[in-house]
Amino acid sequence: MESTLNAPVHKGWKIATGLALFTVLYNLGEGIISLYYGAQDEALTLAGFGVDSFIEVVSGLGILAMIGRLRRYGNKDRGRFEKLALQITGVCFYALVAGLVIGAGYSAWEQQKPETTVAGIVVSLLSIAIMRVLAGWKIRTGEQLNSASIIADGKCTMVCVYMSVVLLASSVLYELLHLPYIDAAGLLGLAWFSFKEGQESFEKSKDAAACCGHC
């Protein structure tokens, strides 16, 4: 497969592979750290952000699998494979929405208060700085390769930037005001972006299926 690709396309797939691998490794570390400190500090927004990081891992693994398949089998059934990858990502996001809404309800009912949200501030600032660059790079690479799933993965990463902003805002506000409902509001903010991203993934899956015969 690699020998049949021209140099720019071959380079594009190498870049896409590197970006997907970085996504998997970075989000794996971010997810573990977020869940650990989220549980330790009883900061549910940070814990929910950590779960989202693991969905990014799933998305990155899907991209790596797609690239490996393309190199082995070429463009045969590429649209169908991209559709499946996008649908899996969409289902994961919808599952996350349900968990976040339940968590928000629990937090509000119990008037749950994190011990501290310093870890959320640090994680969100780091995520904003890294994910913004990564998202733009993925989208440009996906456009060059005409890959709906890579573009969707880039937009998924951009949504992580928005989620990081929500995490940062809720963490800073709680650290300053210590109001009981800020953590619940942060969870609902993450749920909204997760729902929109799941919806986007399913819409993109339709586009991928439509272009199956042209990829």
Q: Give me 200's structure tokens.
A: 């986007």
Q: How far apart are the first and last CA of the chain?
A: 15
Could you state, in chain order, the average pLDDT of each consecutive group of 10 residues for the chain (215 residues)? 56 88 94 94 90 84 79 64 76 85 85 87 95 93 82 81 92 87 89 86 68 37
User: What is the Cα–Cα distance from 134 to 160, expressed in whole angstroms?
Assistant: 11
Domain at 2-210: CATH code: 1.20.1510
Record the pTM. 0.80
Which amino acid is located at 20 in the chain? Answer: A
**Nearest C-alpha neighbor of 72 from the set 144, 2, 146, 147:** 2
